[in-house]
Amino acid sequence: MEQFLYYFETIPSHHRSLILVGGITLFWSIENGLPLFKLDYKKWQHAIPNLFFTLTTVAINFLLAFILFKASYWATNSSFGVLNWIGNLGLGLKIFLGLCLLDFFGAYLPHWIEHKVHWLWKVHIVHHSDPHVDTTTANRHHPLESLVRFIFTLIGVIIVGAPIGIIMLYQSTSIVATQFNHANISLNPKLDKILSFLIVSPNMHKVHHHFKMPYTDTNYGNIFSIWDRVFGTFSYLSPNAIRYGIDVFPDSEKNIKIWELIKQPFMPYERPNDFHSK
């Protein structure tokens, strides 16, 4: 376990790139063989804007990574944060607890807030406006949202008192988890349900991408499903009833154009009344 954590403490940049590219390649391939939905779209054309925003997300996190390192160094050397305040934990339990807490502060909490604060919702809407959810949708985040999520992750690192190895493990796990739960893959329903008791499964997360409330405001988790269950934001909807996209920006052509998506958070709109209906 110590060697495992040491690997992530010293993980080379090209290994992190391999995790990102390898995950997309793996789930892209599975989508072709075991699709959940036979989406009527040109897969590569759809992927271009999503991969563009993936690159902007990577760039922002790379440029600001030194701040995470500084925060982690300060917290661990000052014995600050949850992991440093709790008594002696086994390394395995410490890693698991660290991952759970970072998943809360870095994913669940900012995601929940983005759905509750209007101007943050407008930034986050770029992710929801994808009319064809697949594994490339995973990191389809406006650069402003990438910055917001980095800030929450930074706060989480300090509160958790996470050492750099756990941070790197969290970020690597988060990448693969979001690629997995966005992937257009068909799992056995029983297997998907079993997985959803611990992690965010594909069918669980697809509910969040349904175009109508209240489902859009549920299933916020990324790695672990525990936070949705603890805070009462878990919901279920049959995959057959799910319709992707967002009804305030229904133009599927504009929703796959990079410049239109960059402008999207700044465009005026009103949520129609039926958006809040079940």
Residue 231 gets which letter from DSSP?
T
- 174 CB contacts (<8 Å, ≥6 apart)? 103, 106, 107, 222, 223
What pLDDT shows up at residue 89? 83
The pLDDT assigned to 276 comes to 39
**Residue 274: what pLDDT?**
43
Residue written as token pair 């300060």:
74
Residue 268, pLDDT score: 77
pLDDT attached to residue 250: 75
Q: Which residues of the chain have pLDDT under 70?
A: 269-278
Task: Count the Cβ atoms, other than its own, within 10 Å of residue 1.
Answer: 10
What pLDDT is stored for residue 271 in this prediction? 54
Please provide the average confidence, as pLDDT, over all residues in the chain: 92
**Number of folded domains in the chain?**
1
Residue 32, domain extent: 2-276
d(CA 230, CA 228): 6
Give tens-digit pLDDT for 7-39: 999 999 999 999 999 999 999 999 989 898 887
Between CA 44 and CA 12 the distance in angstroms is 29
pLDDT number for residue 277: 37
